[in-house]
Amino acid sequence: MQLSGKTALVSGGTDGIGAQIIRQLRAKGVTVITSGRNAERIAATRSDGFEVIEADLSTLAGVQALIAGLNARPIDILVNNAGAGADHDFREEPPDLAVADAAIFLNLNAPIHLITRLMPTLRARPEALIVNVTSGLAIAPRAGGPVYCATKAGLRSYTQALRAQLAGTAITVLEALPPVVETRMTAARTSKKMPAPECARQIVAAMERGAAEANVGLVKVLKAAHSLSPALARRIMLRF
């Protein structure tokens, strides 16, 4: 896709990978609209010249607020980037189901809602693009994050089916699968992390070349291992 001149809605663009995606898209001539839920980060992003719609996408009300904030403006690109982890490890303590429910809605339900509600405007564009940011953990889960892994695996399946449905139309569907990236969400992780700007660069490059998948960084290795032996890939990842 030729990005220059397009309008993009990027959810969760006030922090982490999303904050890098919106800056790299703007540098390529894209008009960017984003969303956030933290007042301080929203203010900082607005001060950098971005339009930010305040919306907590872990709730249906937040999805509705984001759609209302668009005010029926046409968009060419939808990037479902907003996401969050959820502590859910019975080896440590009983999980908080309210936290799990919020993560499930944010990571899986919100993208489905946004795609469904914005499909008419995407279909009306000469060319359009849907980007769903999942995770390498959508390929094989880690034991300590079953809710996060389940939502990303669910979004991966949804993305693959959506791509098949939209084959032959002007809408391209891209799944971006990052590895562990250096963000606020992964601050407690001690494993090697990819810098967020590099992760965003690879995702934006995949958008430009019209790819179906962007296996970012070490996810390429995981994908190769999974292709050879899904059982082995699962055994390796479940240790983390």
193-211 confidence digits (pLDDT tens): 799 999 999 999 999 999 9
Q: Give the integer Cα–Cα distance in Å for 151 and 153.
A: 5
CA-wise closest residue to 85 among 148, 42, 130? 148
List Cα–Cα distances, 35 to 57, 80, 113, 196, 203, in angstroms: 9, 10, 15, 18, 19
Residue 8: predicted pLDDT? 98
- Domain-embedded: residue 128: yes
Residue 122: predicted pLDDT? 98
Alpha helices, DSSP H only, in 93-145? 97-104, 110-123
- Say which amino acid occupies 216: V
Range of the domain at 194: 7-237
- Say which amino acid occupies 117: R
Residue 25: predicted pLDDT? 98
Per-residue confidence band for 19, with pLDDT thresholds at 50, 70 and 90? very high
- Domain-embedded: residue 119: yes
List, for residues 125-177, the tens digit of each pLDDT value: 999 999 999 999 999 998 989 999 999 999 999 999 999 999 999 999 999 99
| pTM (predicted TM-score) | 0.93
Residue 220: predicted pLDDT? 87
Q: What does the block give as tokens for 224?
A: 């190769």
Residues in the chain: 240
Q: Is the pLDDT of residue 240 over 70?
A: no
- Domain-embedded: residue 2: no
Give 207's contacts (C-beta < 8 A, 6+ positions apart). 1, 3, 77, 129, 131, 174
- Domain-embedded: residue 96: yes
Mean pLDDT of the chain: 94
- Domain-embedded: residue 125: yes
| 148 assigned to active site | yes
Give 236's contacts (C-beta < 8 A, 6+ positions apart). 140, 225
| For range 182-203, the mean pLDDT | 80
CATH number at residue 116: 3.40.50.720
Number of domains in the chain: 1
| For range 73-99, the mean pLDDT | 95
H or E segment and range at residue 19: helix 16-27
Q: Give the integer Cα–Cα distance in Å for 52 and 66.
A: 10
Per-residue confidence band for 188, with pLDDT thresholds at 50, 70 and 90? low
- Domain-embedded: residue 37: yes
Determine contact, residues 13/35, Cβ cutoff 8 Å: yes
Beta strand residue intervals within the chain, DSSP E? 7-10, 31-36, 51-54, 77-80, 128-133, 171-177, 181-182, 194-195, 213-215
Per-residue confidence band for 189, with pLDDT thresholds at 50, 70 and 90? low
29 compared with 237, residue with greater pLDDT:
29
Residue 187: predicted pLDDT? 59
Residue 190: predicted pLDDT? 62
Provide, rounded to the nearest whole percent, the portion of the chain with pLDDT above 90. 82
Of 50, 105, 148, 158, the catalytic one is 148
Residue 237: predicted pLDDT? 79
Neighbours of 237 (CB within 10 A): 19
CA-wise closest residue to 3 among 100, 104, 75? 75
Q: What does the block give as tokens for 238?
A: 């479940």
Residue 180: predicted pLDDT? 87
- Domain-embedded: residue 1: no
- Domain-embedded: residue 114: yes
